[in-house]
Amino acid sequence: MDTSLQDYGFVPFFAQQTSLEEIEHGRVGRVTEVQRSLIKVAGGSEERSIPLTSAWHDLAPEHRPTVGDWVVLDEQYSRVERVLDRKGIFRRVAAGEKTELQLIAANIDILFVVTSCNEEFKESRLERYLAVAVEAGVIPVVVLTKIDLSDDSDSYAERARSVQPGVPVESVNALDRSTFDGVFAWIERGSTIALVGSSGVGKSTLLNTLAETNIAATNEIREDDKKGRHTTSHRALHRLPGGGLLIDVPGIRELKVAEVDAALSRVFDDIEAMASKCRFTDCRHESEPGCAVRNAVENGDIEARRLRNYLKLLRENERNSASLAEKRLQGRAFAKHVKQVKALKQDQGTRN
Ligand SMILES: Nc1nc2c(ncn2[C@@H]2O[C@H](COP(=O)(O)OP(=O)(O)OP(=O)(O)O)[C@@H](O)[C@H]2O)c(=O)[nH]1
Ligand SMILES: [Mg+2]
Ligand SMILES: [Zn+2]
């Protein structure tokens, strides 16, 4: 097999979905960038820019190629013939009024949830990211940046660890490789890491320091409120010189969740275990009598903030999952209608 495909993370799961002929002709590749009407595909031989035809735009977002996907091109390398089944997908509900999924990165092995030792740090935000990571089937690692700017970085690391026992936390100065031992341990040849988090936490800085060149633009954060300036504008997959693949993602303002039921049970297993002791099996832990969860909050066994975030995520998940399900149903009904109309026309055609 082409070694460069392996360098891009081409494992048997994907090889089984392609033919030897497609591989030998350099028609198989990995999506490294997605722009409005074209995608960049690398790995087969040279990196190619492939136009994304309108047929792809007509599909639901989850069926379109995204960064990290494996695709097969046609014989002329002029279009995407198919997108290979994914090992996993990191996605969110797109910002805005409509409930629509937005893909962030496909086929990632590890998610670096980047957060920094300043006002940006929020346990509730980490819980949100962890839920989406668990749902995507990836290993989440919290990367805590800007330890050089804080007198109290250990307490930030402690707070990050308390969000979920066992979650790895790596503390770094993103500008200084000598602090990267913990981070290096996660990087392997052919494995894919996505960098996600708020704007200004240092995702692109991490990438540049790891790559030892300035691949991505970075920008100072606002002094008054420590907010970033949304410097990175599109997602891109980069190959690190020492092996390993890194996807730099623009700062996420709001990671809205949908279809993360099982993941919420995992991330909040302490609350769910306690909920089994509530008097009513359908207790919403609001004002019901005999609520073991609220009791645990009063005793200080569960943080009030954590319960609030859990209930907020539950409601958000319920609402968004329901509207996605409805949308899919409408989509199917419409497709069926189109099929019937076509069949009818064909039928009339043959009779005429
Ligand atoms: N001192 C110090 N500065 C850092 C660290 N990490 C990031 N910075 C600085 O923080 C600013 C923002 O970093 P970026 O890498 O642009 O942040 P980003 O997460 O890519 O932001 P977006 O692309 O907007 O999502 C830059 O000025 C970096 O130099 C760190 O660990 N220590
Ligand atoms: Mg950036
Ligand atoms: Zn309860």
Q: What confidence tens digit (pLDDT) does each residue in 164-222 have?
A: 989 999 999 999 999 999 999 999 999 999 999 999 999 999 999 999 999 999 999 99
Per the structure, how many domains does the chain have? 3
CATH number reported for the structural domain that contains residue 31 in this entry: 2.30.30.140
Do 69 and 163 lie in one domain? The reply is no
The reported pTM is 0.92
Ligand 1 pocket: which of 121, 149, 218 to mutate (most atoms within 8 A of CB): 218
Residue closest by Cα to atom 11 of ligand 1: 220
Claim to verify: residue 114 and residue 59 sit in the same structural domain: no
- How far apart, in whole angstroms, are the C-alpha atoms of residue 166 and residue 58? 42
Query: How many whole angstroms separate alpha carbon 246 and alpha carbon 237?
Result: 6
CB atoms within 10 A of CB 105: 27
Instruction: Give yes or no: residues 183 and 68 share one domain.
Output: no
Q: Which atom of ligand 1 is nearest to the CA of 201?
A: 19
Question: Residues 239, 95: one domain?
Answer: yes
124 with 168, same domain? yes
The rounded distance, in Å, linking the Cα atoms of 305 and 84 is: 41
pLDDT at 351: 61
Rounded to whole angstroms, what are the CA distances from 227 to 23, 146, 202, 223?
45, 14, 11, 8
The closest-lying atom of ligand 1 relative to the alpha carbon of residue 249 is: 25
- Which of 83, 109, 132 is the last residue before a domain boundary? 83
Rounded CA-CA distance 80/132 in Å is 28
Protein residue whose Cα sits closest to atom 16 of ligand 1? 218
Q: Which of 49, 83, 117 is the last residue of a domain?
A: 83
Structural domain including 292 reads 261-321
Per-residue pLDDT tens over the stretch 31-76: 999 988 899 999 867 789 999 888 888 888 889 999 999 999 999 9
Specify whether 68 is located in the same domain as 153.
no
By the CB criterion, residues less than 5 angstroms from ion ligand 3 are 278, 283, 285, 291, 293
Task: Using DSSP bridges, classify how beta strands 38-42 and 80-83 pair: parallel, antiparallel or unpaired.
Answer: unpaired
